[in-house]
Chain A
């Protein structure tokens, strides 16, 4: 009997060492979620408008999708960073050649 209980303790220790505790999982999930929700609530109200107008300007030159642009605002202690991300389509899918310059 004593041998079996010793073996099961060893097994238990093995699982304890390899699996993160549920508290650690909770902390990680919360850190991600809270950071996301804070950035959402600190967003200035003009972001959606800015995003829409930027999209219109870019579409004059490149045929991008509605969701190809993301505008995010990040804050740390010292500064605010306005980040603009535009995903350009593949070369083959670019329908609108630029009309600038002589043609």
Chain B
């Protein structure tokens, strides 16, 4: 049985796809058979972030409609053989996702995989609702910014009331906060909500903080999940996140301004 993780946020542009790509790669690198699914039907992008856009033949909707078998649509990652990508359809309507269809695909994947990562589209329409419906765990991606925090809270309400677990009265979805695009410098200046501020408002278990980083754009430019950029701050932060998700006790990094070395203090200004 696979564990189903939804990466969600409500608001767009906060880093859901970047996070889905990084976390699914991280889990696969740890040796877990992992599938990552793009639920953004009509606006697929996970393929591009994963760097497999030219290898898409069949997609999620083809599988739901019985036009392709699951193993025909799954794209095996070239860097890690434990990772498979199921792309969204680019041409279909978002209404082509049906609850039964999604449930069947997730059920079939569950037999072969340890983790299934569902990359949710923005908003709270059908794609987003189905991405979270079957989830066991939710990673709520939030920017330290008012509209993102508000939308995350709205999403928490939906996770608690509209998921399969909620409908069946089962143990609720485990919710984790991932704070992205964080700038310790701006927090120190009083220009940005701090980790503590966001946690005070959302009262969520903090899975990690991803600093605002040039590495993220560089990674998406080249179609490489940023977690593979092991030298970068964002890459290391995502590695920590995966280890924490798997139950390791890893101290949070990239939250405080890095102390300048004596040399930096003398000459860096």
Residues of A within 8 A of B187 (CB): 23
Closest-by-CB residue of B relative to A19 is B190
A34 CB contact (under 8 Å) in B153, B189, B190, B192: B153
Number of A-B residue pairs, CB cutoff 8 Å, is 43
Interface residues of B: mostly helix, strand, loop or mixed?
Answer: helix
Interface residues of A: mostly helix, strand, loop or mixed?
Answer: helix
Q: Is the CB–CB distance between B157 and A27 below 8 Å?
A: no
Q: Is the CB–CB distance between A30 and B201 below 8 Å?
A: yes
Residues of A within 8 A of B146 (CB): 26, 29-30
Q: Is the CB–CB distance between A22 and B149 below 8 Å?
A: no
Number of A residues whose C-beta is below 8 Å from B? 14
CA distance A30 to B154 in the complex (A): 12
B193 CB contact (under 8 Å) in A26, A33, A37: A26
B190 CB contact (under 8 Å) in A24, A37, A41: A24
CA distance A41 to B202 in the complex (A): 15
CA distance A41 to B124 in the complex (A): 15
Q: Is the CB–CB distance between B201 and A27 below 8 Å?
A: yes
Chain B residues at the A interface, C-beta cutoff of 8 Å: 145-146, 149-150, 153-154, 157, 161, 187, 189-194, 197, 200-202
Chain A residues at the B interface, C-beta cutoff of 8 Å: 21-24, 26-27, 29-31, 33-34, 37-38, 41
